[in-house]
A and B are shown apart, each in its own frame.
Chain A
Amino acid sequence: MEILKDIWGFLKVRKKFWLLPLIVILLLLGLLIVLSGSSAIAPFIYTIF
């Protein structure tokens, strides 16, 4: 999977390995969201997210 390679590259370049567990959990959560088919709506106030 290209995304995993890209994320690993990003963590290495930015030296932010501590984000890895968080990203893994979030990706698993993401899988759940995709599987459950629910929609994701961006916060509206200012698109800094």
Chain B
Amino acid sequence: MKEIILGISAYYHDSAAALTIDGKIFAAAHEERFSRKKQDSSFPVNACRFVLDEAGVSLGDLTAVVFYDKPYIKFERLLETYHAFAPSGLKSFNSAIPVWIKEKLFMKDNLRKELSKLGREGEKIPQILFPEHHLSHAASAFFPSPFKDAAILTLDGVGEWATTTIGYGNGNKISMLRELWFPHSIGLFYAAFTYYCGFKVNSGEYKLMGLAPYGNPDAEETKSIKRKILDTLVDIREDGSFLLNMDYFDYATKLSMTNDAKWERLFGFPRRKPEQELDQHYMNMAYAIQEVTEEIVLKLAATAKELTKSDNIVLAGGVALNCVANGRLLKAGIFKNIWIQPASGDAGGSLGAALAAHYIYFGNERTEIDPDDSMRGAYLGPQFSDFDIERVARKYGAVYEKFNDFDKLCDKTASLLNNDTVIGWFQGRMEFGPRALGNRSILGDPRCPDMQKKLNLKIKFREGFRPFAPSVLEEDIQEFFDIPVKSPYMLLVAPVVESRRCRIPDNYNELPLYERLYFQRSDVPSITHINFSARIQSVSRKTNPRYWQLINKFKEKTGYGIVVNTSFNVRGEPIVCTPDDAYRCFMRTEMDYLVMGNYLFTKKEQPDWSKTDNWREEFKLD
């Protein structure tokens, strides 16, 4: 009998479900993609239904359901934290505890209740297991990796008690070697700066990372901010462990991240209000905190190396999505090989929980190790047929052209890209993890100097400073970027090669933000960030043949095997899941063309989008 395991992450942020069959990753998806609520934290009923249907199994066929953390230990942490900080934190206590005593303490019952809705009447609910949060992350990083053994580094906000762990994976075992406990958390430390710079905690960390290169590294203010961080806010030890000065952080017991008055006194400028104009203070602050974060990650990695002596390192946890830090870790050469779980956030915990049960709890051997990895390119979500696409077209009266020959469609699409148009690209299975990797993507020509501005302001409706990532043919990666390895999941940042860069003025770092931004920095300006870096996705012919074929066609026409790739959504919207989501997103924005499967939709030919379809009302800004 096959061993089928359902992994679930839920109730905090970014709910998801994943299904493994005999240890093979079969399907996984975020709940937000179905419910259309960004970072939906509710029980992932739709994602569970999808993974079960995809495998053609029912609740009764499952060997186990695995929830990605231990609720009681989390509750213990809450009680002990409130006890330690009392009487401070009464307000937070009053709002947090009712949720626990009404719902979260009864997690097993709640899960059973929710699961029973997925099964047939009277169907048996399988056993429910609860691995630790960081073990789930560690399992999500190690078991799908291409390594027989590896050091494991998990970094996030907080799980039960642990916020950072160093572990060692070998065969089907994971041993935890070091743990750093709440409230000393690298994730919450970075989130506190995200908050102070006026971005939303839990989604704005990416913006802060994108803002960091706008900081002036030579400015006295940047150096002073970094000094103050190191002298006052955090005490970093040689082994990468650290203590935060909790006089300055309110997240342990209050409903905010920072003590704003103390921060203002320390740094000399107030917290930025959301959507307020960005001035140089915040850019310098972003630069400084990014540097400090990277220093911590490097020290932790060095400790992991010392403890494990392995040549390989794998990473997971929300902080592992900090691709700038990952790029620096790669460059540091502490480990020969590095692999990062593409769904490193809590959603990926569902997959890790399922894998932890398979290998650790049920004790199955880890015999087959895929030399690439076993994530199947992270294309683990739902896919849709021609029939589904045509149904959506009929629903909206959409006009389309169907190509029976996919090569001809690629040829046409590549020509359109070459004409500076913006194209929605919807193919095959949806990605698992926060990045669109060419199946739910918006594409553009990276050589076009206006593409970055156009995509940010007219298509994505997001902040003008935010950079875009390239998708490059795997075989051409070193033609464009100074990186010795492939980067299939857009989790490594590396510089554009010197030969492609343009000369910049001596006072470049002192120019105002938008002057720097619109300065042509390379022959692929729309994917070259302000400091010549890029967040790279290398596209493999084996993993995503359709996307590879399109980029290769673009190369045949232009000599450039590279395109701009951004997720198929507008600001605040989860990445599109279905053809219906894709068509609506296409019609709401100034995208010029939409390619779904073998169908091409031209914006000019579409019927008037007369619906009062205001995405700003449907999706809250993130």
Contact = CB atoms under 8 A, between A and B. Distances in A.
Contacts of B396: none
A9 to B, nearest CB: 9
Contacts of A29: 97-98, 101
Contacts of B41: 47
Contacts of B79: 19, 22-23
A15 B369 CA distance: 39
Interface string A1-37: 0110011001000101001001100110110011000
Interface in B1-49: 12-13, 41
Contacts of B83: 22
A30 B105 CA distance: 10
A12 B62 CA distance: 30
Contacts of B101: 26-27, 29-30, 33, 40
A49 B72 contact: no
Contacts of B367: none
A46 B97 CA distance: 15
B500 interface: no
B251 A46 contact: yes
B211 interface: no
B201 interface: yes
A14 B182 CA distance: 17
A41 B201 CA distance: 18
A46 B101 CA distance: 19
A46 B72 contact: no
A44 B318 CA distance: 18
Interface in B72-110: 72-73, 76, 78-80, 83, 92, 95-103, 105-106, 108-109
Contact of B92 (A3, A16, A33, A43): A43
Given A46-B188, A48-B158, A49-B92, A10 B72 contact: yes
B256 interface: yes
B157 interface: yes
B49 to A, nearest CB: 24
Contact of B102 (A22, A40, A46): A40
Contact of A40 (B98, B201, B251): B98
B174 interface: no
B257 interface: yes
B201 A49 contact: no
Contact of A46 (B98, B106, B109, B257): B257
A49 B82 CA distance: 11
Interface of A: 2-3, 6-7, 10, 14, 16, 19, 22-23, 26-27, 29-30, 33-34, 38, 40-49
10 contacts: A19-B79, A19-B80, A29-B97, A41-B95, A43-B92, A43-B96, A44-B255, A46-B157, A47-B12, A49-B99
Interface of B: 12-13, 41, 72-73, 76, 78-80, 83, 92, 95-103, 105-106, 108-109, 157-158, 182, 188, 191, 201-202, 251, 255-257
